[in-house]
């Protein structure tokens, strides 16, 4: 769990109450069950014991039979799982399996190096794609499926796990025809809101984490952040502070910064969640990330004295009694950074984790998914679509067709 603190210039704080009615309305719209693509809101409360056991048992079988696991996906269909696994990495996991990611880039060098790494390992792939048609994922799936066929012959299908739409799509059809093991993603849950479903839970379980605890953390967050009243709900308060930062203080950039390297992919997940949800209709706060103390010796200069168009959301872990001297020093630096920013009138939100574990991950993931959706509704944009992404995709299709016509080989 974490505590949420904020330090905004004093004259802006009385503005919070001005957002009360607007926030209540946004929260009611989100939770009113009429809004499409909100299945993730209650999913952690509704996921069955059977589903959780099936994921855990499948993961145990994957770990028993393989040396390596390759997670294939992009965007919301991959970064949440990676965020979870890397955040928990220091925590007690009994991985017993090498973990790789593929399909989130189109580098030939990256994928052939991965193929080479796998040459003497028994491996399984897990393909995650809601639509089943994403180009990067489809191309990478074909690449590793060929390798599995060469390696395991007719038994190749035993090494393929698929998470995709519960009914539709090419991937769903292929999985059923070829007999891959599948997990269904609800129609009503989009990629970037899917980390607390089998999309994030299966890879987390393969990595050795207790998904029941992740879900317990998310369930606690459903209760903790269920109120429509701004004063009782930190999740709504954070969404409103983002609005105040942008609308009243002209802060158009949010810097997510962390003092632990294991937060690196978590910050990438936040960027993906907020960027793809909020950046539309010529609106939105641009999310970016920094890792401290590394970036204090680079961007630290800019943040203190450069163009002040940003606010900062800081992630830190409270040092325990008898903490490692590095952790004690890290906490001193965190406090010093907060003081320096405050002296400079930079608005800051702080998420102070007591501990990093599965429960805390589930809790935090739910908090940010909900805060993001509310923030979008306050901005007046749909949190759940991504029409801008289609623009470059259409051009990719056109260019690929042109290439095929000119060189059919």
CA distance 288 to 256: 6
CA distance 342 to 124: 49
Q: How far is CA 18 from CA 7, 24, 233, in A?
A: 18, 11, 15
Query: Is residue 68 helix, strand or coil?
Result: strand
Q: Which residues pair with 162 in a beta bridge?
A: 127, 182
Is residue 125 a contact point for ligand PA5 (CB under 6 A)?
no
Given candidates 63, 130, 341, 370, which one binds ligand PA5 under the rule CB under 6 A? 130
| Block residue for tokens 């970036």 | 295
| Residue closer to ligand PA5 (CB basis): 145 or 237 | 145
Question: Is residue 147 within 8 Å of residue 153, measured between CB atoms?
Answer: no
> Which range binds ligand PA5 by CB under 6 A, 130-138, 222-230, 315-323, 357-365?
130-138
The interface mask with ligand PA5, positions 229-268, x = CB under 6 A, is ----------------------------------------
Query: Is residue 50 helix, strand or coil?
Result: helix
Query: Residues with Cβ < 8 Å from 394, sequence gap 6 or more?
Result: none
CA distance 336 to 154: 61
Shortest CB 188 distance to ligand PA5, Å: 13
Shortest CB 194 distance to ligand PA5, Å: 7
Phi, psi of 182 (to 5 degrees): -125, 155
Question: Is residue 343 within 8 Å of residue 200, measured between CB atoms?
Answer: no
CA distance 290 to 256: 6
Given candidates 129, 233, 350, 375, which one binds ligand PA5 under the rule CB under 6 A? 129
CA distance 172 to 257: 38
Question: Which tokens sit at 376?
Answer: 């979008």
Is residue 382 a contact point for ligand PA5 (CB under 6 A)?
no
Question: Residues in contact with ligand PA5, total (CB under 6 A)?
Answer: 14
Known catalytic residue at 297: yes
Shortest CB 100 distance to ligand PA5, Å: 18
Q: Which of 178, 6, 203, 189 is nearest to 100 (CA)?
A: 203
**Residues in 181-220 that interact with ligand PA5 by CB under 6 A:** 190-192
Shortest CB 332 distance to ligand PA5, Å: 38
**Residues in 71-100 that interact with ligand PA5 by CB under 6 A:** 74-77
Which residue of the set 34, 119, 297, 322 is catalytic? Answer: 297
Is residue 131 a contact point for ligand PA5 (CB under 6 A)?
yes
| Residue closer to ligand PA5 (CB basis): 191 or 347 | 191
Shortest CB 293 distance to ligand PA5, Å: 31
- In Å, the largest CA–CA distance within the chain is 69
Which residue of the set 246, 254, 276, 312 is catalytic? Answer: 276
| Residue closer to ligand PA5 (CB basis): 79 or 204 | 79
| Residue closer to ligand PA5 (CB basis): 62 or 189 | 189
Name the site residues for ligand PA5 (rule: CB under 6 A).
74-77, 129-131, 134, 137, 190-192, 276, 386
Write out the catalytic residue numbers.
Answer: 276, 297, 393
């Amino acid at each position: 769990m974490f505590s949420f603190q904020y330090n905004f210039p004093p004259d802006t704080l009385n503005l919070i109450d001005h957002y009360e009615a607007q926030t209540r309305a946004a929260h009611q719209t989100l939770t009113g069950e009429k809004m499409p693509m909100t299945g993730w809101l209650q999913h952690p409360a509704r996921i069955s014991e059977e589903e959780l056991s099936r994921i855990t048992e499948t993961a145990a079988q994957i770990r028993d039979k393989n040396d390596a696991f390759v997670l294939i996906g992009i965007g919301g269909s991959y970064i949440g799982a990676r965020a979870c696994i890397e955040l928990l990495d220091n925590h007690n996991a009994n991985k017993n399996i090498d973990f790789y990611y593929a399909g989130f880039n189109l580098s030939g060098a990256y994928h052939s190096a991965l193929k080479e790494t796998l040459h003497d390992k028994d491996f399984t792939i897990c393909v995650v794609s809601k639509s089943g048609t994403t180009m990067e994922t489809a191309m990478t799936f074909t690449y590793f499926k060929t390798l599995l066929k060469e390696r395991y012959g007719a038994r190749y299908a035993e090494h393929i796990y698929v998470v995709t739409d519960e009914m539709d799509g090419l991937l769903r059809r292929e999985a059923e025809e070829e007999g891959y093991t599948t997990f269904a993603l609800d129609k009503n849950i989009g990629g970037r809101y899917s980390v607390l479903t089998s999309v994030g839970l299966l890879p987390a379980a393969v990595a050795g984490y207790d998904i029941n605890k992740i879900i317990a953390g998310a369930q606690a967050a459903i209760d903790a952040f269920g109120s429509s009243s701004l004063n009782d709900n930190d999740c709504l308060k954070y969404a409103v502070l983002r609005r105040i930062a942008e609308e009243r203080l002209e802060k158009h950039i949010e810097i997510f910064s962390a003092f632990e390297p294991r937060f690196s992919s978590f910050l990438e997940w936040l960027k993906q969640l907020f960027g793809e949800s909020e950046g539309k209709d010529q609106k939105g706060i641009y999310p970016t990330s920094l890792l401290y103390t590394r970036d204090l010796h680079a961007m630290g200069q800019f943040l203190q004295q450069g163009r002040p168009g940003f606010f900062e959301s800081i992630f830190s872990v409270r040092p325990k009694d008898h903490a490692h001297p590095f952790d004690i020093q890290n906490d001193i630096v965190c406090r010093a950074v907060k003081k320096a920013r405050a002296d400079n009138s930079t608005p800051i939100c702080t998420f102070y984790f007591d501990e990093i574990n599965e429960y805390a991950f589930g809790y935090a993931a739910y908090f940010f998914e909900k805060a993001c959706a509310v923030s979008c509704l306050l901005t007046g944009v749909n949190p759940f679509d991504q029409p801008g992404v289609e623009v470059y995709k259409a051009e990719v299709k056109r260019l690929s067709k042109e290439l095929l016509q000119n060189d059919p080989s």
